[in-house]
Amino acid sequence: MAPLQKYLTENDEKRKFSVPAEWLRILPDFREGHEVMVKAVDGKGFYWEFNCVIRKRGRYRKPVFQSQGWLKFVNKKGLRVGDKIILYEGEDLFRGTKYRIRAQKCNREGLWVDV
């Protein structure tokens, strides 16, 4: 399956990460409730946990990574509006994760590089 990506908005940088609805196809199942823990390893090998929640009611479930884990990630990576987040399935049995998350910035040559 192809990696899923999103360019950061101001809300993503400062508050919480609005997860594109298409990402629901690879995220854990919400059958047990309206929140799940997404455990991921980044492009540098660091472990991250993101609490992903959806609306309890309504047609559009509007998933978000809550601020606590998400803002730690943003601050550690120095992310800003326009930077790119890539999420894909990639199991790491040692760390017990099912996902890989990459944060990228565009360098002076116009190439996206992991941070």
State the pTM of this model: 0.88
CA dihedral 71, 86, 1, 67 (to 10 degrees): 10
Per residue in 78-112, pLDDT (tens digit) is 999 999 999 999 877 777 778 999 999 999 999 99
Per residue in 11-68, pLDDT (tens digit) is 999 999 999 988 888 888 777 778 899 999 998 889 999 999 987 766 667 889 999 9
Instruction: Indicate the fold that domain 4-114 takes in CATH.
Output: At1g16640 B3 domain (2.40.330)
Exposure string (b/e) for 30-56, b if CB count within 10 Å is 16 or more?
beeeeebebbbbbeeeeebebbbbbee
